Amino acid sequence: MDQQHIILFDGVCNLCNAAVQFVVRHDKKKLFVFASLQSEVGKQLLSEHILPGSDLRTFILIEHNKLYSRSSAALKVSKKLSGIWPVLYVFILVPPFIRDAIYNFIAKNRYRWFGKKEECMIPTPELKARFLN
């Protein structure tokens, strides 16, 4: 698993699910695989990287066994997408405390603004192969 690009996301968050769908559409090389933070695989990966499984407000990328979170994870993902999205990586030059402050504000309000599901999303049959759980 350490050679894959693993995205961990909040499986009940509508915004997070939309972000996963966005990555799937723009990941022409199929580099990324996914697991919800609530899944057994997600909890296991968090545990392996010594992160609490109780904080579901973060987007995590595990790349070559190195963990990135919040805005850094999102920017690292954008860098590998097709189309114009790699241009967003220029925001990596913004200090993390500024990027993450904006990220945290959105994360704190995501359920109120975008809603949430009662259960984690169930991937379609063609997407199922890209999910680790």
pLDDT (0 to 100) of residue 50: 73
Task: Give the model's pLDDT for residue 11.
Answer: 84
Which pLDDT does position 32 carry in this prediction? 95
Identify the H or E element spanning 116.
none
Please write the tens of the pLDDT for every residue from 31-46.
Answer: 999 998 888 888 888 8
Residue 10: which residues within 8 A CB-CB, separation 6 or more? 16, 36, 37, 38, 56, 57
User: Partners of 68 in the beta sheet?
Assistant: 61
Least confident window among 3-12, 17-26, 43-52, 56-65: 43-52
CA angle 45–8–33, rounded 5-degree value: 95
3-class secondary-structure state, position 44: helix
Per-residue pLDDT tens for 46-99? Answer: 888 876 555 666 789 999 889 999 999 999 999 999 999 999 999 999 999 999
Domain residue ranges of the chain, discontinuous segments joined by +: 5-128
> Which residues, 6 or more positions from 12, have their beta carbon under 8 angstroms from its beta carbon?
36, 38, 116, 117, 118, 119, 120
pLDDT of residue 53: 56
Q: Residue 46 carries which DSSP code?
A: H
| The predicted structure's pLDDT at residue 120 | 60
